[in-house]
């Protein structure tokens, strides 16, 4: 009798628990069903369709309860956007700008404001939801790696029918069919049950297709699953390509992003996890995969997009800074008012901001308590500022401050002006992160010879350091010797990348020696803009780019032996060094705003200004270009932030 009572008690408890769970599910669904309006019939049809399959019904509940937070843009003008992507597909990078212009002239400009916003909860029918649920579960059960994908991973990073604000469609079946030869083949390998291994192999195939990166296509909504075949666009489109393919193949994949970085703009990439839980950064643009903590572009904070709403913030993303910060992780960044010369009112919200050009953009929020603000995780090595939002503007409430870690202890050092002025001599307006060719100069050799084949050559100079300016001068080691033939020979694997070289007879000379231009390989006419003659055309913004990684060289036949006292070179570059003839303005930060230190035209490859010592600085090129970044000046050098 006692045993029967225990069993009855257990049954009642379990029944109560399941009843609570059903009530909880209904409570989650009720707001969505109410918002659906007349479309509630379609949503209820989905729930009834899966009433005998509890797992698929849970998947349906996941989608439906989160549908109120998603919408898309639709309208006739959307076809113009699609034609832009389709027309640029498969074209050379340098053709895309003119193709976009041609499409715009033919169709008229694409205008986002002409599109109508539609809401998923009110428009998406049962057929589309059933398609995505059924095809997701088919992939989950059929592919060997599916057994190591959890239901939670499936719902958040495989199941969702959309990635952003694209028009929802049925896209899974076509991608699964296209990849069937691949999935059939890899399913018989020894690692077929490892989603991470399969993800790596899929990514290799996608990388070999070389998606064409361009910023010339104007802003549009997400282009949808056709982007997989169009294979063109910016970082957002490349991340979409990876997600569509991965998710169709039941490989969990997320889109991670930053709000602002070194390039003063947001950036999106993909992430996956291995069986040990390690996050991996996946970037189709570069074709690279690496552990997330080795990804260096994150400034301040990183986030991961989700289909479900973050219950703590109400947003469709969550903070993944800890995945990317590595040893620079500042756990729970705490900012004291006195520490950063700030004024914080208890109970009021303040934004933690990082720089975007001369503005500040919010990456986190906190409420002031006791003169302090407690934020979430933050990556050290970034300049930050506390701001208050007023009328859509971020108004600084503190001095900008450096974020640093010393023996695992956070240190905030404000840019406090000490009262003295200093002269700063500047060489660039942007850090060398966007100059991949500078390092190729290291190991390059300048040589002199009296034989045309350079069979007997003397070393005049060797480039030992990465250049940090446009024009770099080295004294010749053999200035007392005379040579008829002189050349620059690129380092191994450098493609002999150089924009300009020059040779001078005397140390005080300002006009370089002239002669017959010689080099290797001989110009073919295929790419005259990159042959060795570019290194002696007097233009520091053209360059020699040898097809062979290690055999290229360029030089002069002087006609007779001459002394070489010094050599000069300009690295292949992206025009961020100081440019002679351009007008520049230097800004410095004064308490809560920028001040100008004046405007000057550059007369050489450096420019000087007088500013308060210790100030945060920002150099603007008023003549051309967009790439600029905040910095400070220490010991005669620009320190970039």
Section 580-599 average pLDDT:
97
Give 239-298 as a DSSP string.
Answer: HHHHHHHHHHTT---EEEEESS-TTSS-EEEEEEE-TT--EEEEETTTTEEEEGGG----
For the stretch 227-275, pLDDT in tens is 999 999 999 999 999 999 999 999 999 999 999 988 899 999 999 999 9
Position 559 scores a pLDDT of 98
For the stretch 95-106, pLDDT in tens is 999 999 999 999
Res. 19 pLDDT band, cuts 50 70 90: very low
- The secondary element (H helix, E strand) that includes residue 175 is helix 172-178
Position 25 scores a pLDDT of 53
Section 143-151 average pLDDT:
98
Position 528 scores a pLDDT of 66
Contact 182, 202 (CB under 8 A): yes
Query: At 147, is the secondary structure helix, strand, or coil?
Result: helix
Residues 6+ apart with CB under 8 A from 156: 252, 306, 307, 308
Res. 427 pLDDT band, cuts 50 70 90: very high
Mean pLDDT of the chain: 93
CB atoms within 10 A of CB 314: 8
The arrangement of strands across the sheet holding 267-273 comes to 288-291, 279-283, 267-273, 254-258, 303-305, 317-319
Q: What token pair was written down for 88?
A: 């640029």
Section 605-609 average pLDDT:
98
Res. 530 pLDDT band, cuts 50 70 90: confident
Query: At 505, is the secondary structure helix, strand, or coil?
Result: coil
CA distance 579 to 606: 8
Q: Is residue 1 over pLDDT 60?
A: no
Section 618-629 average pLDDT:
96
Q: Is 188 exposed, middle or buried, given 0-12, 13-18 or 19+ CB atoms closer than 10 A?
A: exposed
Res. 9 pLDDT band, cuts 50 70 90: very low
Q: Is residue 82 over pLDDT 50?
A: yes
Contact 157, 149 (CB under 8 A): no
CA distance 371 to 613: 29
Position 525 scores a pLDDT of 65
Tell me the whole-structure pTM to 2 decimals.
0.88
Position 527 scores a pLDDT of 62
- List the end-to-end C-alpha distance of the chain, in Å, as a whole number: 76
Question: Is it true that the peptide bond before 521 is cis, omega within 30 degrees of 0?
Answer: yes
- CB hemisphere CA count around 294 (13 angstroms): 10
Position 376 scores a pLDDT of 95
Section 502-531 average pLDDT:
89
Provide the pairing of β-strand 349-356 with 359-367: antiparallel
Cα 268 to the center of its chain, rounded Å: 6
Contact 349, 365 (CB under 8 A): yes
576-588 core/surface letters (b: 16 or more CB in 10 A; e: else): bbbbeebebebbb
The CA dihedral of 215, 219, 221, 225, to the nearest 10 degrees, is -20
Section 483-507 average pLDDT:
97
Query: At 577, is the secondary structure helix, strand, or coil?
Result: strand
CB atoms within 10 A of CB 92: 9
Q: Is residue 18 over pLDDT 80?
A: no
Q: Is residue 11 over pLDDT 70?
A: no
Using alpha carbons only, give the angle 83, 88, 92 rounded to the nearest 5 degrees.
170
Q: What token pair was written down for 313?
A: 């913030």
For each of the domains in the chain, give its residue range(s) and CATH number, in order of start: 323-414 (no CATH), 421-432+577-640 (2.60.40), 436-570 (no CATH)
């Amino acid at each position: 009798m006692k045993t029967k009572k225990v069993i009855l008690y257990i049954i009642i408890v379990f029944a109560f628990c399941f009843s609570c769970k059903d009530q909880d599910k209904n409570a989650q669904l009720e707001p969505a069903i109410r918002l659906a309006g007349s479309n509630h019939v379609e949503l209820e049809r989905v729930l009834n369709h899966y009433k005998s399959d509890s797992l698929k019904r849970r998947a349906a509940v996941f989608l439906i309860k989160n549908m109120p937070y998603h919408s898309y843009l639709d309208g006739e003008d959307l076809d113009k956007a699609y034609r832009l992507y389709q027309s640029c597909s498969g074209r050379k990078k340098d053709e895309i700008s003119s193709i976009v212009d041609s499409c715009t002239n033919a169709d008229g400009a694409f205008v986002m404001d002409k599109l109508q916003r539609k809401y998923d909860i009110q428009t998406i029918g049962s057929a589309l939801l059933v398609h995505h649920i059924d095809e997701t579960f088919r992939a989950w059960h059929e592919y060997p790696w599916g057994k190591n994908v959890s239901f939670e991973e499936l719902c958040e990073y495989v199941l969702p029918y959309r990635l952003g604000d694209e028009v929802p469609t049925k896209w899974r079946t076509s991608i699964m069919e296209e990849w069937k030869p691949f999935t059939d083949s890899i399913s018989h390998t020894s690692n077929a049950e490892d989603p991470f291994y399969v993800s790596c192999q899929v990514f290799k195939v996608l990388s070999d297709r070389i998606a064409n990166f361009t910023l010339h296509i104007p802003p549009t909504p997400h282009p949808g699953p056709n982007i997989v075949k169009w294979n063109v666009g910016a970082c957002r489109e490349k991340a979409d390509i990876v997600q569509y393919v991965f998710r169709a193949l039941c490989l969990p994949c997320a889109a991670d992003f930053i709000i602002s970085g070194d390039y003063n703009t947001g950036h999106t990439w993909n992430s996956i996890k291995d069986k040990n839980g390690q996050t991996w950064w996946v970037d189709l643009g570069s074709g690279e995969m690496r552990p997330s903590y080795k990804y260096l572009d994150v400034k301040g904070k990183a986030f991961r997009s989700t289909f479900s709403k973050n219950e703590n913030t109400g947003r469709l993303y969550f903070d993944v800074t800890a995945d990317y910060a590595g040893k620079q992780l500042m756990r729970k960044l705490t900012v004291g008012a006195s520490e950063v010369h700030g004024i914080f009112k208890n109970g009021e919200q303040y934004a933690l901001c990082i720089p975007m050009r001369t503005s500040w953009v919010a990456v986190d929020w906190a409420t002031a308590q006791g003169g302090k603000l407690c934020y979430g995780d933050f990556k050290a090595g970034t300049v930050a500022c506390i701001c208050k939002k007023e009328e859509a503007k971020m108004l600084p409430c503190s001095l900008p401050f450096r974020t640093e870690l010393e023996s695992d202890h956070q240190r905030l050092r404000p840019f406090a002006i000490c009262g003295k002025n200093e002269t700063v001599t500047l060489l660039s307006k942007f850090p060398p992160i966007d100059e991949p060719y500078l390092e190729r100069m290291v190991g390059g050799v300048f040589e002199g010879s009296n034989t045309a084949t350079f069979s007997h050559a003397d070393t005049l100079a060797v480039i030992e350091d990465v250049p940090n300016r446009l024009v770099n001068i080295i004294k010749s080691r053999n200035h007392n010797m005379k040579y008829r033939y002189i050349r620059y020979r690129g380092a191994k694997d450098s493609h002999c990348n150089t924009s300009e070289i020059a040779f001078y007879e005397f140390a005080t000379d300002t006009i370089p020696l002239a002669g017959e231009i010689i080099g290797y390989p001989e110009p073919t006419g295929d790419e005259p803009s990159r042959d060795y003659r570019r290194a002696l055309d007097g233009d520091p913004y053209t360059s020699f780019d040898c097809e062979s990684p290690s055999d290229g060289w360029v030089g002069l036949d002087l006609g007779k032996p001459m002394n070489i006292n010094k050599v000069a070179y300009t690295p292949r570059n992206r025009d961020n060094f100081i440019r002679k003839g351009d007008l520049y303005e230097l800004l410095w930060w004064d308490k809560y705003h920028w001040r100008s230190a004046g405007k000057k035209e550059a007369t050489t490859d450096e420019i000087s200004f007088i500013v308060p010592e210790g100030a945060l600085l920002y150099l603007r090129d008023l003549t051309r270009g967009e790439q600029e970044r905040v910095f400070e000046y220490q010991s005669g050098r620009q320190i970039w932030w």
